[in-house]
Amino acid sequence: MPRLRVQSLTKAYPSVLANDQVNLSVGAGEIHAVLGENGAGKSTLMKMIYGVTAPTSGTIYWEDQPVDITSPAQARALGIGMVFQHFSLFETLTVAENTALFLPPGQSLDALSIKIREVSEHYGLPIDPNRHVFDLSVGERQRVEIIRCLIQKPKLLIMDEPTSVLTPAAVDRLFETLRQIRAEGCAIVYISHKLDEILALCDRVTVLRDGRVTGECVTEDQTPASLARMMIGHDFEHPFKPEPTAGEVALSVNNLSLKAVDAHGVSLSELSFSLKVGEIVGIAGISGNGQRELCSLLAGEVMPDAGDIHWFGQSLVGEGSTRRRQRGLCYVPEDRLGTGALADMSLTENSILTAADRAGLVSAGFLKLEKARAFADRCIKSFQVKTVGARAAARSLSGGNLQKFIMARELEQSPTVLICAQPTWGVDVGAAAQIRQSLIDLARSGCAVLVISEELDELFDVSDRIGVMFNGKLSPIEPISRTNREQIGLWMSGLWQKAA
Ligand SMILES: Nc1ncnc2c1ncn2[C@@H]1O[C@H](COP(=O)(O)OP(=O)(O)OP(=O)(O)O)[C@@H](O)[C@H]1O
């Protein structure tokens, strides 16, 4: 008897059939991957199982009984836990308080703290229940999300792209925990775009395409290439990177320093590097080591406390983001909802947000709506963004499709310099390959490109030179031919400083 069986589940949004007669079955002690391109319907399926969204038709069987799951609280009462891609913790509350909010009322915080310690020890997920969430690293926050599910002894745990924010070591730890949970008889549904992870961790995989199940198999006989074929219908290509002919220095950063705004921020100290026309410089590092602050300084959202930035030899200090955008400095921030796009605005309006000047979407103070719509349409087309059209609100797009739209919006402006953080975050393998190739082509056509990413493979695919940020400091930037993944991996824990 499967623990969860989903039969002919359908979810129709007004203009999209997000799930079309989906069948899925997950047994106790099984890790089951759900794989599919951006917009294939994975999140929608999970939201129905977790009671966030109601199905249009179809049936969910829980331990062979048909159930109507109408809220997450009801799902949890059945024994279903879910760890979302975007965390839902309150920063100003402690770990124990955040956990209490998640559970039925009536537990004392002291008793809960004891339970949290027990669970965290049992699963090798150390966390202090009295710490405030704002004080925790991203990896620790995820631990809290997992622990507060595990404390309820779930029979089914849903994990939505859990490793996109984790370091390689933290991924290994997470996998150990998930294997332990599986050994204890829990069923796990695991959503990821990372094919090697699916092969390493999962027992079976169900593949979705355009809302329909297109395949189901055991992972044992599969390879990353065969999984990709099942998902996108053909092989995906590795990016082609011609040799750079690096030109003049476009952006030169000299001894840039910034004091952290609060106790939890990162201070930047004396960062120096240059970025030349025609090349891609990659910055590796675990997020939270000052990358966000560096991006804000380069984009002109924040001014440095010391040091300067030069644009083709001319100082940019004191110049804000609007003027920098007009010059051709385009920027893809790491958080796509919030800084990257406004959720309730349409894709047309989101185009105007950053492309108004460069793409001529405003004239004499008036919006040129038709032109903006055409611009948004071009973005949708260039990256095959799955959406009903430029009028759609940003929030209606699946995570990966919104990321594709934001990338396209900046690329369509023909930037002179592009600063790009986590370019393929949440994007499926086919689209990720397309984005990486676009970055290389953009650089070779004369743009200077800075790519900040946590994915070493991605950086080695696209970069001509590479460095690492750690604790607000920047390592030397080395030509890609003079370094390797091992060295950059070591530098990610600050080790270049010792070597120096
Ligand atoms: N609230 C909504 N209103 C309208 N359409 C929606 C809504 N939520 C999702 N969709 C659409 O349903 C389809 C499936 O989206 P879903 O988020 O399930 O995809 P996904 O497989 O999880 O994608 P990703 O890998 O990018 O996260 C998409 O076309 C999406 O635009």
**Tens digit of pLDDT for each residue in 135-165?**
887 778 888 998 999 998 999 999 988 887 6
Spatial distance between the Cα atoms of 108 and 225, rounded to a whole number of angstroms: 51
Question: Is 239 among the domain residues?
Answer: no
Same domain, 187 and 279: no
Same domain, 419 and 385: yes
Last residue of a domain, one of 232, 257, 282: 232
Answer whether 162's CB lies under 8 Å from 170's CB: no
Write the CATH number for 457: 3.40.50.300
ipTM comes to: 0.97
**Whose C-alpha lies nearest to ligand 1, atom 8?**
396
Residues 6 or more apart whose CB falls under 8 angstroms from that of 265 comprise: 293
42 CA from centroid of ligand 1 (Å): 8
Same domain, 261 and 226: no
**More confident: 477 or 498:** 477
Question: Is 134 among the domain residues?
Answer: yes
Same domain, 183 and 260: no
Same domain, 227 and 253: no
pLDDT digits (tens, 9 = 90+) for 415-452: 999 999 999 988 888 889 999 999 999 999 999 999 99
Ligand 1 site, residue 430, Cβ cutoff 6 A: no
Same domain, 365 and 424: yes
Total structural domains within the chain: 2
**Whose C-alpha lies nearest to ligand 1, atom 18?**
41
Average pLDDT over residues 315-323: 92
Counting ligand 1 atoms within 8 A of each CB, the residue from 16, 207, 388, 428 with the most, and so the one to mutate, is 16
**More confident: 211 or 498:** 211
Average pLDDT over residues 404-409: 95
Answer whether 300's CB lies under 8 Å from 284's CB: no
Question: Is 167 among the domain residues?
Answer: yes
Instruction: Record the tokens describing residue 219, joined without a space.
Output: 């992972």
Same domain, 299 and 174: no
Question: Is 265 among the domain residues?
Answer: yes
Same domain, 253 and 278: yes
Same domain, 284 and 196: no
| Residue 250 scores a pLDDT above 60 | yes
Question: Is 243 among the domain residues?
Answer: no
Residue 230 pLDDT level (bands cut at 50, 70, 90): confident
Q: Which of 324, 389, 385, 334 is nearest to 357 (CA)?
A: 324
Answer whether 352's CB lies under 8 Å from 343's CB: no
| Residue 500 scores a pLDDT above 60 | no
Counting ligand 1 atoms within 8 A of each CB, the residue from 13, 194, 337 with the most, and so the one to mutate, is 13
Ligand 1 site, residue 398, Cβ cutoff 6 A: yes
Question: Is 271 among the domain residues?
Answer: yes
Instruction: Record the tokens describing residue 478, joined without a space.
Output: 């080395």
Ligand 1 site, residue 40, Cβ cutoff 6 A: yes
Provide the residue range defining the domain that includes 481: 249-499
Same domain, 124 and 270: no
Question: Which atom of ligand 1 has the smallest separation from the CA of 386?
Answer: 29
| pLDDT attached to residue 264 | 66
| Mean pLDDT for the chain overall | 91
| pLDDT attached to residue 208 | 95
Question: Is 237 among the domain residues?
Answer: no
pLDDT digits (tens, 9 = 90+) for 179-196: 999 999 999 999 998 888
Same domain, 228 and 253: no
Same domain, 279 and 209: no
Spatial distance between the Cα atoms of 364 and 416, rounded to a whole number of angstroms: 24
Ligand 1 site, residue 18, Cβ cutoff 6 A: yes
Last residue of a domain, one of 200, 232, 264: 232
| pLDDT attached to residue 52 | 94
| Residue 393 scores a pLDDT above 70 | yes
Question: Is 349 among the domain residues?
Answer: yes
Q: Dihedral of the CA atoms 306, 308, 309, 311 (nearest 10)?
A: 160
